[in-house]
Amino acid sequence: MDFLKLIRYKNLLMVLLTLVLAKYALIHSFLVNSYLSDFHFSILTLSVLSITAGGYIINDIYDIEADKINKPNKLFIDKTISKKNAWTSYFLLTFFGLTLGVFLSISELLPLYSLYFIFTIIGLFFYSKNFKKQILIGNIVVSFFVGLTFFLLISFELHNNFETPYNDKTNSVYMIFPFGAVMGYSFFSFLTTLVREIIKDIEDINGDLKLKYNTLPIVIGRKRASKIAFFFGGVLLVFLLFILQIIKSNILILGYGIIFILAPLLYFLYKLRFSKSKQNYAQLSNILKIIMLFGILSMLLFAIH
């Protein structure tokens, strides 16, 4: 059970849900034929999950000292799992994920797509080792890789498939080019992750300060970092209002977006202005998790409408 917590099995289930809904709910609502078969999609999913799990492990390996201060109750390496076993698990999961990714790319006659997986593995390693200690760089890097999941899927799905006919949908929202729709979710994921990463840095400021990290709240202070998080939250709000404006003719999706995404985001921004304690920021992080979940689940509406 400790190993499952180490690889953040709940987060991995979220990634799995994201990929499944993106393919079978969102993309399939636009395209009659899918370029990526169910078998190859399973390989892609296993690859992404394995590389992501490895990323969580390497992050915890380099974060042992910080976690002793910031979250001692969630520390597993050097406590219930040895560092040696953690390194072994990291290499096995990463190698397995890379092998699947390269196999998929070659089998689909897209060998250059292997670079997606190689780039992600290298990026996650240096994020854990160096980038996360630097002002905003680590926040942007991890947010980029979250958004990259969508881009990776749509790249495989739309390769040599740009002229695939759309399903016969009368509502204009279904006439949006699938690439644009998927990238909209990618941008949503990027922004919500970026805000949450800044919030987590504010929450973990005590441990990071003792280890001489240069995270945003350490360099400019907790209050200013909170204002930066508020700014990006505001960008997310404007983005959502823009999307809702586009789909305003679809009452179901519009209502869902207002109730389950927009309203919680407004509540988050309100709470952010008055948050001061570690507990306050932990609650804000959980609110963002809920917003992300409802955002992902909204893809179901494209399939059922």
DSSP assignment of the chain: -HHHHHTTHHHHHHHHHHHHHIIIIIGGGTBSS-SS-HHHHHHHHHHHHHHHHHHHHHHHHHTHHHHHHH-GGG--BTTTB-HHHHHHHHHHHHHHHHHHHHHHHHHTT-GGGHHHHHHHHHHHHHHHHTGGGSTTHHHHHHHHHHHHHHHHHHHHHHTT-TTPPBP---SGGGGS-HHHHHHHHHHHHHHHHHHHHHHHHHHTHHHHHHTT---HHHHH-HHHHHHHHHHHHHHHHHHHHHHHHHTTT-HHHHHHIIIIIIHHHHHHHHHHHH--SHHHHHHHHHHHHHHHHHHHHTTHHHHH-
Give the tens place of pLDDT for each residue, 6-47: 999 999 999 999 999 999 999 888 776 667 889 999 999 999
Whether 284 contacts 291, CB under 8 Å: no
From 99-103, 173-177, 220-224, the region with the lowest mean pLDDT: 173-177
Instruction: Calculate mean pLDDT across residues 127-133.
Output: 90
Please report the pLDDT score of residue 77 as a whole number.
86
Residue 124 has pLDDT above 60, yes or no: yes
Instruction: Give the pLDDT band of residue 162 (cuts 50, 70, 90).
Output: very low
Please report the pLDDT score of residue 173 as a whole number.
41
Residue 167 has pLDDT above 60, yes or no: no
Instruction: Calculate mean pLDDT across residues 62-85.
Output: 83
CA gap 266, 259 in Å, rounded: 11
Question: Which two structure tokens, joined as six digits, stand for 215?
Answer: 């995270």
Whether 52 contacts 93, CB under 8 Å: no
Residue range of the domain that includes 89:
2-304
Total number of domains in the chain: 1
